[in-house]
Amino acid sequence: MRKIIFLVPLLITSFFIQNGNAQQDAQYTQYMFNTMSVNPAYAGSRGQLSIAALYRSQWVGLEGSPTSQTLNIHSPIRNSRLGYGVSIVNDEIGDGTVQETYFDGVISYTIDVSQVGKLSFGLKAGGNLLNLDFNKLRNFDDEPINGDNIENRFSPNFGIGAYYHTDKFYLGLSAPNLLETNHFDNSNRDANSVTFLSKERINFYAITGYVFDLSNDFKFKPALLTKVVGGAPLQVDVSANFMLNEKFTFGAAYRWDAAVSAMAGFQISDQFMIGLAYDKETTELGSTRFNDGSFEVFLRYELVKSFQKLVSPRFF
């Protein structure tokens, strides 16, 4: 019989918080290359069809540790101010013990607010499917946790966002999921049954960044992400990235009281970009011999037509 000793703590810390506290949205180190997952108003802002996929493996070495996969597709609608997109996010803990998949459709509307500035408003609608296999859950003494399995439980949701950008600066405010959903209300179960309660609360995001031209071939972009959710600590991500010869990107990030990160990317061609990131926890969890850190792999494809060839790749 398989033991997943670390699974219950992982559930508490990454998905489900006891006593009705908040569940936070999944976090990504390379969120700046995956912005539509954070802010629906970003859809279409790159001016061309953009397809981005990201894989994250968190706390490698811990049995049952979380993994996340995302796929975002978005584009402007030709000869209009509208943009559209589709987002799919899959989160998994314990090799399928807990699986949550989000499906969202996104639409945006952009207006010119100055000669160089654009302001977009975004709306997303969709929902998520939750699966939980109680047969794979174990307490620390290897006693099973009783409960009725959850299969494809659907919860609808919608979100909003605003995004302002120029060629050098961007600022976004968003709430990607506005409906609060309760999971695992087990108050009527017996004493041997699982009793935790998870509530998906509203996550508010603020993102901003600025691109400095240090020379003709060298750019510097400091960026900031702040996430606020009731019942959970404030999350602040500070990053600094550089772009060399419009091909190589590299930098570092710090997640307040959580992790330090290193990032690197390469623009393979006008169409393809690949990125890598590594996180090292600064909490007590990061000092254990079972935790080898967290890894991300990112790939983006953009339909750049020959007559639309970019003079300089967008750094955000």
Per-position DSSP letters for 171-232, written without gaps between them: EEEEES--S-EEE---TTS-TTB----EEEPPEEEEEEEE-EEEETTEEEEEEEEEEEETTS
Q: Which two tokens stand for residue 116?
A: 């160089």
Which comes out higher in pLDDT, residue 189 or 216?
A: 216
Q: Quick one: pLDDT at residue 199?
A: 66
Per the domain annotation, does 160 fall within a domain? yes
The range of the structural domain enclosing residue 289 comes to 31-178+262-302
Which comes out higher in pLDDT, residue 316 or 265?
A: 265
**CATH number, domain at 37?**
2.40.160
Q: Quick one: pLDDT at residue 22?
A: 46
From the list 92, 95, 32, the residue with the least C-alpha distance to 67 is 92
Strand-pair category, 22-23 with 198-200: parallel
pLDDT band at 4 (very low <50, low <70, confident <90, very high): very low
> Tens digit of pLDDT for each residue in 294-309?
999 999 999 876 445 4
Per the domain annotation, does 130 fall within a domain? yes
pLDDT band at 213 (very low <50, low <70, confident <90, very high): very high
For residue 298, which phi and psi values (nearest 5 degrees)?
-130, 140
pTM of the model: 0.84
Q: Quick one: pLDDT at residue 32?
A: 85
* Winning range, highest mean pLDDT, from 12-26, 56-70, 206-220: 206-220
Q: What is the average pLDDT score of the chain?
A: 82
Which residues are paired to 46 by β-bridges?
none
> Tens digit of pLDDT for each residue in 89-147?
999 987 778 899 999 999 999 999 999 999 999 999 999 899 988 777 665 555 555 66
Over 60: is that where the pLDDT of 243 sits?
A: yes
Per the domain annotation, does 196 fall within a domain? no
Q: What whole-number distance in Å separates Cα of residue 22 and Cα of residue 182?
A: 10
Q: How many domains does the chain have?
A: 1
